[in-house]
């Protein structure tokens, strides 16, 4: 009797939070649908005007030129624009130029994804409003919580590590582009192991699964992630940056290049990258990383470069095969879709898994009863 009395308040509390969750999730869905129908639809209609042209250029030399040239052009442009923005140090011009640059990149990427799409199914923009809300949620987190923590970590590290050590290590005599590629590789070494840990640890996966919940890849949803996912990474990446003492222009352009790589990593453009597929984390090898097939998905962890995967045996890019456009979390078809649902998913992960297993268990019961 005593156990029953104690369990009643727990059941009431559970019922209350379940009802609250459903209310918030429903409200979030209505807001996202409203924003999609009344704010994003005009842009979708405008970009869809490119679709007939995409069929016209199919199989032409013009399409092949686009597929081969777009990636190196944007990568080279990032170097040129980046060093130009920071030629007088990090200024207000640098800050706003950085924003304008990626607004322009986005305005170019969006129609190009309609012109040479890898998957026409991914052109459907039913997740865009959710991704925008996740972006601004992550922006708030980065500016007011994660950013200050990262800054504090760097400050402490600099105090404990003599700046002369880092300055004596950093190869300032090398060409600026080479310095950027070195810093990109060093930074991504730590990112590789953190990313791999998020896949191999179920506790970490509950946070990272938000990123993998998308059923399409396009230039903007590389930013889809839970704000708390970046908390540990802020510490992991701050330490090497503080230690190597790279010049500010190198740090800035490296960050800029990483963002360009991230846009391409998730792009729906059907590109031909050749050797770049074995150097950078490219669209093709990253599509395998988002596969519903866990054997394919637990691969290609590099965020910027891919040679750490090659070195540590997690690279996956079979010859003569194309990645599937069926992506997402294969064993959790009931994973939340709304902004609120995704924000609460790591805290509700056990229930999500339990509900995903129920249909399978019911099928086993039915199959057993018919034998």
pLDDT at 311: 97
pLDDT classification of 367: cutoffs 50, 70, 90: very low
Stretch 260-287: mean pLDDT: 96
Instruction: Please report how many Cα atoms fall inside a 13 Å half-sphere around the Cα of residue 155, on the Cβ side.
Output: 6
Residue 195 lies in a domain: yes
Does the pLDDT at position 1 exceed 90?
Answer: no
pLDDT digits (tens, 9 = 90+) for 127-169: 999 999 888 877 566 655 565 666 555 555 555 555 555 556 8
Residue 5 lies in a domain: no
Residue 219 lies in a domain: yes
Residue 368 lies in a domain: no
Stretch 39-62: mean pLDDT: 94
pLDDT at 364: 47
Residue 27 lies in a domain: yes
Residue 116 lies in a domain: yes
CA distances from 300 to 111, 295, 310 (A): 27, 11, 8
CA distances from 190 to 116, 194, 196, 236, 289 (A): 34, 6, 10, 7, 18
pLDDT digits (tens, 9 = 90+) for 164-213: 555 568 888 999 999 999 999 998 998 999 999 999 999 999 999 999 99
DSSP string, 69-133: HHHHHHHHHHHHHHHHHTBTBS-HHHHHHHHHHHHHHHHHHHHHHHHSBS-SGGG--TTHHHHHH
Q: Which two tokens stand for residue 254?
A: 């490296």
Task: Count how many domains the chain has.
Answer: 1
Bridge partners (DSSP) listed for residue 89? 87
Q: Which helix (H) or strand (E) holds 294?
A: helix 294-297
DSSP string, 234-264: HHHHHHHHHHH---HHHHHHHHHHHHHHHHH
pLDDT classification of 363: cutoffs 50, 70, 90: very low
pLDDT above 70 as % of the chain: 83
Alpha-carbon distance of 26 to 37, in angstroms, equals 17
pLDDT at 266: 96
Does the pLDDT at position 322 exceed 60?
Answer: yes
DSSP string, 287-325: HHHTBSSHHHHS----SSBSHHHHHHT-----TT----S
CA distances from 42 to 28, 71, 301 (A): 21, 28, 36
- Domain range enclosing 56: 16-360
Q: Which two tokens stand for residue 224?
A: 């889809």
pLDDT classification of 77: cutoffs 50, 70, 90: very high
Alpha-carbon distance of 335 to 341, in angstroms, equals 8
Angle, helices 229-244/147-160, rounded to nearest 10 degrees = 30
Residue 221 lies in a domain: yes
Residue 371 lies in a domain: no
Q: Which two tokens stand for residue 229?
A: 């996912």
pLDDT at 25: 84
Closest CA to 190 of 305, 319, 75: 305
């Amino acid at each position: 009797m005593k156990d029953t009395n104690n369990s009643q308040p727990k059941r009431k509390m559970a019922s209350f939070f379940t009802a609250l969750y459903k209310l918030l999730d429903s409200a979030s869905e209505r807001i996202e649908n409203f924003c999609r129908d009344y704010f994003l639809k005009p842009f979708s209609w405008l970009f869809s005007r490119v679709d007939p042209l995409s069929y016209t250029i199919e199989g032409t030399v013009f399409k092949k030129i686009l597929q081969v040239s777009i990636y190196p052009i944007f990568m080279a442009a990032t170097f040129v624009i980046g060093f130009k923005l920071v030629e007088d140090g990090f200024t207000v011009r640098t800050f706003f130029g950085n924003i304008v640059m990626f607004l322009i990149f986005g305005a170019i990427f969006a129609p190009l994804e309609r012109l040479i799409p890898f998957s026409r199914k991914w052109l459907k923009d039913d997740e865009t409003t959710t991704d925008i809300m996740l972006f601004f949620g992550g922006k708030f987190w980065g500016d007011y919580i994660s950013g200050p923590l990262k800054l504090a970590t760097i400050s402490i590290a600099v105090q404990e590590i003599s700046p002369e050590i880092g300055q004596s290590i950093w190869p300032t005599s090398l060409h600026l582009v080479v310095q950027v590629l070195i810093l990109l590789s060093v930074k991504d070494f730590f990112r590789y192991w953190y990313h791999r840990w998020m896949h191999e640890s179920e506790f970490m996966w509950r946070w990272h699964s938000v990123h993998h919940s998308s059923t399409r890849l396009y230039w903007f949803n590389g930013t889809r992630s839970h704000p708390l996912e970046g908390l540990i990474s802020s510490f992991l990446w701050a330490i090497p940056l503080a230690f190597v003492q790279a010049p500010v222009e190198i740090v800035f352009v490296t960050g800029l290049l990483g963002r360009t790589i991230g846009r391409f990593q998730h792009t729906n453009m059907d590109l031909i990258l050749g050797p770049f597929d074995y150097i950078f984390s490219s669209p093709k090898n990253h599509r395998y990383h988002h596969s519903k097939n866990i054997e394919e998905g637990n691969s290609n962890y590099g965020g910027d470069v891919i040679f750490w995967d090659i070195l540590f045996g997690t690279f996956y890019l079979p010859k003569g095969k194309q990645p599937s456009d069926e992506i997402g979390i294969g064993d959790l078809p009931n994973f939340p879709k709304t902004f609120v649902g995704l924000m609460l998913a790591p805290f509700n992960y056990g229930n999500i898994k339990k509900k995903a297993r129920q249909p399978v268990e019911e099928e086993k019961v039915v199959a057993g009863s018919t034998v």
